[in-house]
Amino acid sequence: MKRQLPTIILLALIASLTACGSENVQQNETTSAQNFTETTVPAEALDVPELDNGGKIFTILACNEDVRYTYIEDVEQTGDAMDDAIYLRNRNVEEHLGISLKIVDTSTETARTDIYTPLSRDVMSGDAQFDMISPHILQSISQLVTENMVTDLSHIDYVDFTKSWWNADFTDTLNLNGKLFYASGDMIVPNARVIVFNKQMMEDYKLPDINEVINSGAWTLDKLGEYTKDISHDADGNGIMDKDDIYAFSDLANTGLATSFVHGSNQLFVTKADNGFEIQLGSEKMYNITTKLYDYIYKDGNTTITNVEFGNGKVLFGSQVLLKLQILRDYDTDFGIIPFPKYDESQEKYQSSVWNGLVCVPVTAKDHSLSGAVLETMAYYSQSTLMPAYYDKLLDSKFVRDDESTVMLDLIFDGLVYDIGLCFDNFIGCYGAPGKLLNEGSTDLASFYAKNKSVYEEHYAELFGLNVKIRG
């Protein structure tokens, strides 16, 4: 991750946050940025001056759902590392800019996929309630662009996307014809999808040390096939594969999981081209990936069922997004985390799908300059508060139980993948094609693409053309 601090620095930050950060806030709710940054210094200086907005209310519309996709929320100090980091970050932003943050959680009103409703309602009414928005990556973010509801961030005061607290890969990928409507950075913790493995089963089946394989660069789709071959079997001998049996990999035939294997193979669903975009569903590599996954699921006897939980100790490999790893905390299963495999050993690095929140500014925001100042300042303070606490939480023994996971997290965060075909899909089905086919027991991408080609092309042509619909 281009903006990621080295692990040794992060661990030092964790220590200083634990020892100093929370204590300082408890002593003084308005702990200054000066006092905090003496112990946890961001990589670069903040170029936003201290402002006096007289305590003006700054309203953010955010989605956090049952898990926190953004950590843009209003919390009190609880002793939890993340809660205390969020609290400290928010107070520092308020003090620096002279504002009062008001964060409205959409999940209390709508499903995560429907941030469009409260925002469009606000835009149409002219109420201008929101100064900043944080939707999930799968929310109707393409509609918000084509219907002219969000602002081009590349021309907003104070926001500097060259700074380390912004994700440079995201900025480059999601830039549409020189316009950037969404951003991701240290205020949006990287909710990557990872693979978890059962350490005891690795020993029982005398499988090679997977950490060594990964560090050597040899963790590939074919290597996954070697590890999973002949693992799944009818352990109780009742003649059927059910929850009491042994599985090589659970939930493989899942839309999100199949997508993560595609991204892990350094393959995108939609790429930029001279004429705007190129849909990759018909590529030879996409077909090869889908075929390999099909073989793992069906051909080699590794059939999986969705109700077999990894934590029950009967599954060799499973998968989960990082922010949901806590569901495994109550199991006795000793597990490690690893990235998704490469396509082959020639691939430069491991790649990981990101299922994240984003940040943007509605066109109706009352003061775009202030919105830019909040974006930049919140990202800046998140680098020295939120990200160290996030590492701390992930590396806590309740979640990740081995030292090797520190190295694995670095590999995962260094290869985060942002894909136009996922971010701007708007549920038309492009990114979900491999998973849908696998669920149906098919690998016929060519027919699937031919059937849906016109829908995809119309959707992305509108997006890259930045055609704006007339509302009203």
Provide the token pair at 88.
């400290």
Burial 172-202 (b: 16+ CB within 10 A, else e): ebbbbeeebbbbbbbbbbbbbbbbbbbeebb
Q: Which helix (H) or strand (E) holds 214?
A: helix 210-215
Which residue from 198, 301, 298, 317 is spatially nearest to 257, judged by alpha carbons?
A: 317
**Which comes out higher in pLDDT, residue 328 or 213?**
213
Q: Which of 144-153, 199-208, 253-262 has the lowest mean pLDDT?
A: 253-262
**Per-residue pLDDT at 64:** 63
pLDDT tens figures, 403-420: 788 889 889 989 999 999
pLDDT tens figures, 316-374: 999 888 877 877 777 888 888 999 999 999 999 999 998 888 999 999 999 999 999 99
∠ at Cα 112 (252, 154), nearest 5°? Answer: 100
What is the helix, strand, coil percentage profile of the chain, to 5? 40, 15, 45
For residue 376, the Cα-to-chain-centroid distance in whole angstroms is 20
Provide the token pair at 412.
């995962």
Strands 270-271 and 278-279: antiparallel
Question: What does DSSP assign to residue 199?
Answer: H
Side chain identity at 470, as an amino acid letter?
I
User: Mean pLDDT score of the chain, rounded to an integer?
Assistant: 82
Cα–Cα distance measured from residue 147 to residue 432, given in angstroms and rounded to the nearest whole number: 24
**Which comes out higher in pLDDT, residue 98 or 250?**
98
Is residue 281 predicted with pLDDT exceeding 50? yes
Which residue from 258, 218, 296 is spatially nearest to 267, judged by alpha carbons?
A: 258
**Residue-range domains of the chain with CATH:** 7-190+356-395 (3.40.190.10), 193-353+404-464 (3.40.190.10)
pLDDT tens figures, 237-276: 999 888 889 999 887 546 688 999 999 999 999 998 876 8
**Per-residue pLDDT at 30:** 34
Cα distances (Å, whole numbers) of residue 405 to 194, 270, 401: 11, 31, 8
**Per-residue pLDDT at 149:** 92
Beta strands, E only, 339-450: 352-353, 416-417
pLDDT tens figures, 379-407: 999 999 998 888 777 766 556 666 788 88
Cα distances (Å, whole numbers) of residue 371 to 116, 137, 381: 20, 20, 16
Cα distances (Å, whole numbers) of residue 19 to 27, 40, 75, 141, 329: 13, 11, 20, 40, 25
Contact status, residue 89 vs residue 36, Cβ threshold 8 Å: no
Is residue 67 predicted with pLDDT exceeding 50? no
Q: What's the whole-number mean pLDDT along residues 105-118?
A: 63
Q: Is pTM beyond 0.95 here? A: no
Cα–Cα distance measured from residue 115 to residue 182, given in angstroms and rounded to the nearest whole number: 14
Is residue 84 predicted with pLDDT exceeding 50? yes
**Which comes out higher in pLDDT, residue 156 or 105?**
156
Is residue 6 predicted with pLDDT exceeding 80? no
Which residue from 81, 127, 88 is spatially nearest to 104, judged by alpha carbons?
A: 127
**Per-residue pLDDT at 276:** 80
Q: What's the whole-number mean pLDDT along residues 192-221?
A: 95
Residues 6+ apart with CB under 8 A from 299: none
∠ at Cα 148 (146, 153), nearest 5°? Answer: 100
- Write the Ramachandran bin of 166: left for phi over 0, alpha for psi from -120 to 50, otherwise beta: beta
**Which comes out higher in pLDDT, residue 471 or 462?**
462
